[in-house]
């Protein structure tokens, strides 16, 4: 998302960031048709990802591109929600064209539309699966009840749940537990919320440069962001965090979290509320 929304980098750096992710062993790239900045450029990020993959010199056959539909950006900084079956089916077909694929590997319903019955929106994913437009389905920003209802409609076609989950935002614990129980991948978005190297206020809420994450990071000689991602990976084997990046160095650092081993004592320390240590 950071490669296409407000204050995005130029295309050269954006492509270099994607290539750095692939070089680091990343095999899941998450995008959406609504990841763009200006009006009239729906699918900017999908097209960018497709160009970056086409220019990559290595093997990309094992890379899964996950995209989403059901949200929009009119160009004034706001986000809309449209979960009608007709819109979702048209959006998926358009995403497949932009990505240059016969079938989308993972297509996710971006957010429930309060104006549309949930079963109708999920039913569109069922139709897309049956038509071969998508190979697997996911849902995002959902409750446990919505996960259960979607699972009942999609069965094995449902493979992922994408909710906000981070050191600062942990209220999706029930959805994480249910995803693990059902064998679904749990994809935390904004997984670095609350973690900052220096600022005390960040876009995802209060942050601090002196939390348990920073202290554990100092002991390992790594970034607090890497510790946050390693902590997320420890929560469940179903967890696959989705850290955003707009520089090659950022995604390279994030990918290294898969090799960072945290002790039981450190994991217990990271259960503390995300507040700075008292002076």
The pLDDT tens digits along the chain (279 residues) read: 999 999 999 999 999 999 999 999 999 999 999 999 999 999 999 999 999 999 999 999 999 999 999 999 999 999 999 999 999 999 999 999 999 999 999 999 999 999 999 999 999 999 999 999 999 999 999 999 999 999 999 999 999 999 999 999 999 999 999 999 999 999 999 999 988 753 333 444 444 567 999 999 999 999 999 999 999 999 999 999 999 999 999 999 999 999 999 999 999 999 987 765 544
d(CA 198, CA 209): 5
- The β-bridge partners of 66 are 30, 106
Give domain status of residue 158, yes or no.
yes
- In the numeric block, the tokens 């469940």 are attached to 236
CA 190 to chain centre: 7
Give domain status of residue 170, yes or no.
no
Give domain status of residue 220, yes or no.
no
Give domain status of residue 256, yes or no.
no
Give domain status of residue 236, yes or no.
no
Number of domains forming the structure of the chain: 1
Cβ neighbours of residue 57 closer than 8 Å, sequence gap 6 or more: none
Give domain status of residue 201, yes or no.
no
Give domain status of residue 98, yes or no.
yes
Please say whether the beta carbons of 3 and 9 come within 8 A. yes
Give catalytic residue positions. 35
What is the structure's pLDDT at 275?
A: 63
The interaxial angle of helices 173-182 and 144-154, nearest 10 deg, is 20
Domain that holds residue 19: 11-162
- In the numeric block, the tokens 């996960």 are attached to 147
Give the full edge-to-edge strand order of the sheet including 28-30: 28-30, 64-69, 106-109, 137-140, 158-162, 185-186
What is the structure's pLDDT at 279?
A: 40
d(CA 209, CA 275): 9
pTM for this one?
Answer: 0.93
CATH number, domain at 86?
A: 3.20.20.100
Residue 104: strand, helix, or coil: strand
Strand bridging mode 201-202 / 106-109: unpaired
How many helices (H) and strands (E) in the chain?
10, 10
């Amino acid at each position: 998302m950071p490669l296409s929304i407000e204050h995005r980098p130029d295309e050269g750096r954006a492509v270099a960031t994607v290539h750095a992710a692939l070089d680091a062993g990343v095999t899941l790239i998450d995008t959406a048709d609504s990841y763009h900045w200006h009006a009239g450029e729906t699918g900017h990020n999908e097209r960018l990802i497709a160009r970056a993959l086409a220019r990559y010199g290595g093997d990309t056959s094992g890379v899964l591109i996950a995209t989403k539909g059901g949200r929009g950006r009119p160009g004034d900084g706001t986000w809309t929600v449209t979960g009608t079956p007709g819109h979702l089916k048209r959006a998926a077909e358009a995403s497949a064209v932009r990505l240059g694929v016969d079938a989308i590997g993972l297509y996710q319903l971006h957010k429930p539309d309060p104006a549309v019955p949930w079963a109708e929106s999920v039913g569109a994913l069922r139709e897309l699966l049956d038509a071969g437009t998508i190979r697997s389905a996911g849902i995002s920003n959902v409750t446990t009840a919505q996960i259960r209802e979607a699972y009942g409609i999609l069965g094995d076609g449902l493979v992922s749940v994408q909710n906000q989950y981070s050191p600062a935002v942990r209220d999706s614990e029930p959805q994480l537990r249910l995803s693990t129980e059902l064998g679904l991948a749990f994809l935390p978005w904004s997984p670095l919320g609350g973690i900052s190297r220096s600022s005390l206020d960040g876009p995802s809420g209060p942050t601090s440069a002196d939390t348990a994450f920073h202290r554990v990071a100092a002991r390992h000689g790594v970034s607090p962001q890497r510790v946050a991602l390693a902590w997320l990976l420890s929560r469940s084997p179903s967890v696959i965090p989705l850290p955003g990046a707009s520089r090659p160095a950022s995604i390279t650092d994030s990918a290294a979290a898969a090799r960072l081993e945290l002790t039981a004592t450190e994991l217990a320390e990271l259960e503390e509320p995300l507040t700075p240590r008292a002076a």
